[in-house]
Chains A and B, each alone.
Chain A
Amino acid sequence: MSANVVEIQGLDRRFGKRTALEGIDLAVHKGVVLGLVGANGAGKTTLIKHILGLLKAQTGTVRVFGLDPVRHPAEVLGRIGYLSENRELPEWMRVGELLRYTQAFYPAWDTHYAQDLLTLFELNRGQKIKTLSRGQRAQTALLIALAYRPDLLLLDEPSSGLDPVVRRDILSAIIRTVADEGRTVVFSSHLLDEVERVADVVVMIHEGRTVLKDSLDAIKATHIRLTVRFPQPLTSPPSLPGVLSCTGGPQEWTYVCHNGLKDLQQEVDAVHGLVVDSAVPTLDEIFVSRAKGHTSPEGSLCDR
Chain B
Amino acid sequence: MRSIALAMTWEYWHRNVRLIVGVITTGAALLIIPFGRELLENPILTGVRVLHVIPLLTAMIGQVVVALSTTHKDRPEFPQELYTKPVSTVTLVALRMALGISAAAGMYLGQALLIWAASGVALPLWWGPLVALAMTAAWTHALIWSLPGCILPQVIAAFLAIFLCVSYYGRHVASLVELGGDLSGPPTRMARGLYGMGMVALTGLAYAVAVVGVRFDRRGDRISLARVGAWISDRIYAIRRTDRPFGSARAAQFWCEWRQHWGLLLPLLNLLALSMYAALAMGTRKVSLEVDGPIFLQSLAFINIVFYPILVAMVVNTQERGGSKDLFWATRPASDNMLLWVRLRVAIASLLASWGVWLAGALVIWGLLWVTGQRYDVMNIVTPNLSRLRYFFFYAGLAALAMWTALGIVGSLHVTGRKLVAALWLTPIVVPVAWNILSRNYHLAAPLVAQVQAITPWAIGILCLAGTVLVYGVAVYKGRISRWLPYAAFGVYLVLVLCQVVFPYSDKSLVEGKPNPIVLSLGLAALPLVPLALGPLAIAWNRHR
Contacts and interface: CB of A to CB of B under 8 A. Distances in A.
B334 A74 contact: yes
A101 B544 contact: no
Closest 4 CB pairs of A and B: A104-B252, A78-B333, A77-B333, A104-B246
A82 B331 contact: yes
B543 A54 contact: yes
B437 interface: no
B251 interface: yes
B325 A101 contact: no
Interface in B249-292: 249, 251-253, 255-256, 259-260
B336 interface: yes
A100 interface: yes
12 contacts: A52-B331, A71-B479, A74-B335, A82-B331, A86-B324, A88-B324, A88-B327, A88-B328, A89-B324, A92-B259, A96-B241, A126-B234
B333 A74 contact: yes
Interface string B309-345: 0000000000000001111101111111010000000
Contacts of B333: 73-80, 105-106
A286 to B, nearest CB: 32
Interface in A45-90: 52-56, 70-71, 73-80, 82, 84, 86, 88-90
B332 A105 contact: yes
A50 B346 CA distance: 30
Contacts of B260: 90, 92
Nearest to A50: B544
A287 B163 CA distance: 63
Contact of A56 (B244, B330, B544): B544
B319 to A, nearest CB: 13
A89 B259 CA distance: 14
Contacts of A94: 237
A90 B246 contact: no
A201 to B, nearest CB: 24
Q: Which among B241, B247, B251 has the highest number of chain A CB atoms within 10 Å? A: B241
B243 interface: yes
Interface of B: 230, 233-234, 237-238, 241-249, 251-253, 255-256, 259-260, 324-328, 330-336, 338, 479, 543-545
Contact of B246 (A70, A73, A100): A100
Contacts of B336: 73
A193 interface: no
B246 A101 contact: yes
A106 B259 CA distance: 21
A70 B544 contact: yes
Majority SS of interface residues in chain B? Answer: helix
Nearest to A91: B324
Contacts of A73: 333-336, 543-544
Contact of A84 (B247, B255, B256, B331): B331
A200 B332 CA distance: 29
A103 interface: yes
A82 B326 CA distance: 14
Given A75-B333, A103-B245, 6 more contacts: A73-B544, A74-B335, A77-B332, A79-B333, A89-B324, A126-B234
Nearest to A76: B333
Nearest to B335: A74
A233 to B, nearest CB: 51
Contacts of A76: 333
A303 B410 CA distance: 59
Contacts of B245: 100, 103-104
A100 B237 CA distance: 14
B325 A88 contact: yes
B253 to A, nearest CB: 8
A100 B243 contact: yes
Contact of A53 (B233, B246, B256, B544): B544
Contacts of B237: 94, 126
Q: Which among B242, B255, B332, B333 has the highest number of chain A CB atoms within 10 Å? A: B333
Nearest to B332: A105
A139 B475 CA distance: 40
B421 to A, nearest CB: 17
A121 B204 CA distance: 53
A64 B80 CA distance: 48
A265 B242 CA distance: 71
A62 to B, nearest CB: 11
A127 to B, nearest CB: 10
Contacts of B330: 54
B545 A54 contact: yes
Contacts of A103: 245-246, 252
Contacts of A78: 333
Contacts of B242: 100
A59 to B, nearest CB: 15
A279 to B, nearest CB: 42
Contacts of B543: 53-54, 73
Contact of A105 (B249, B325, B327): B249
Q: Which among A54, A79, A104, A106 has the highest number of chain B CB atoms within 10 Å? A: A104
B150 to A, nearest CB: 14
A298 to B, nearest CB: 37
B239 to A, nearest CB: 12
Interface string A93-135: 1101000110111100000000000000000001010000000
A74 B543 CA distance: 12
Contacts of A80: 333
B341 to A, nearest CB: 13
Contacts of B327: 54, 84, 86, 88
B245 to A, nearest CB: 6
Contacts of A75: 333
Contacts of A126: 234, 237-238, 241
B469 to A, nearest CB: 25
Contacts of A52: 331
Nearest to A127: B234
Contacts of B256: 90, 93, 101
Nearest to A131: B230
A79 B331 CA distance: 11
A71 B245 CA distance: 29
A19 to B, nearest CB: 16
Contacts of A53: 543-544
Contacts of B479: 71
A104 B243 contact: no
A65 to B, nearest CB: 12
A261 B249 CA distance: 58
A198 to B, nearest CB: 23
Contact of B331 (A77, A92, A93, A106): A77
Nearest to A15: B545
Nearest to A107: B249
Contact of A96 (B230, B243, B338): B243
